[in-house]
Amino acid sequence: MDFLLSGLAASGACVFTNPLEVVKTRMQLQGELRAPGSYQRHYRNVFHAFFTIGKVDGVAALQKGLAPALVYQFLMNGIRLGIYGLVEAKGFFLDSNGNHSPGRSALAGGIAGVIGAYLGSPIYMGMFQALSVIARKHGLFGLWRGALGGLPRVIVGSSTQLCTFSSIKDLVAQWEVFPPQSWKLALASAMVSSMAVVLAMTPFDVISTRLYNQPTDAHGKGLMYRGLPDALMQTIRTEGIWGMYKGVGASYFRLGPHTILSLFFWDQLRILYQTHKQ
């Protein structure tokens, strides 16, 4: 049930935030490995990107990839949040004095994120027909192309997100700002977590997007980047340090609401289930 509720929470958030993912991805790929000012910017900012995509490609294009996104969120975050919730229920996050330990929370969040992301990586690559084409062309392991490059992003993001959420929730609960198990407590904690996770994840998100998107040769080897360190160095060398934060506005408009909604839904669904169970 922990895994089911976690997957449902993430999928529910995905319905609202998938258009933001489309915008974020296009902005991150804009001007790839081109010096600033040497290319035409099709999207000036998040709002301009929304307008341009809707006008040129149609409003439906903003929900492009929704089906695989829902499956990916249900699988990846169902596993990630489910594992974290089970570890939390076992009391692993409490130190010898019975206080919440941010370090243990971060460790559990990172490990849970790695497991969920690696198992969900093939879905991130594509869906149904795309998966079969990739498997035929690159073999079974081709379905995990770029997965290792995405793991640092997931470790940092998952650790930051879940540690911040649990720590802030525990702290605010001690201050008795809101009644116990209040939805306001979960919402406030999720909002703080959303800001922290975007700052931590955006550089890794940019590199991960580019690793997944790069063309490959007949053997499935990337033609633009040799791996995560090479992609990181090329981006900084060509586009500067701010190239690592390209699309950060779009990243927040996607990751922020998704973090808030998924954690809020996850918390409230668990409370609802426990109440019904009792």
The string of pLDDT tens digits covering residues 98-121 is 888 999 999 999 999 989 887 776
Per-residue pLDDT, 40 = 77
For residue 36, what pLDDT band results from cuts at 50, 70 and 90? confident
Residue that is written with structure tokens 């243990």 in the block: 104
Assigned token pair, 19: 């258009």
According to DSSP, the residues that pair with 222 across neighbouring strands are 216
pTM: 0.74
For the stretch 141-159, pLDDT in tens is: 666 665 665 677 788 999 9
Which residue from 153, 88, 66 is spatially nearest to 118, judged by alpha carbons? 153
Question: What are the distances in angstroms from CA 207 to CA 72, 108, 129, 180, 197?
Answer: 19, 24, 26, 40, 16
Average pLDDT over residues 127-154: 64
Quote the pLDDT of residue 83.
95
Q: Per-domain residue ranges for the chain?
A: 66-145
Question: Considering the chain, what percentage of its residues have pLDDT values greater than 70?
Answer: 89
Q: Distance between CA 1 and CA 270 in Å, rounded?
A: 9
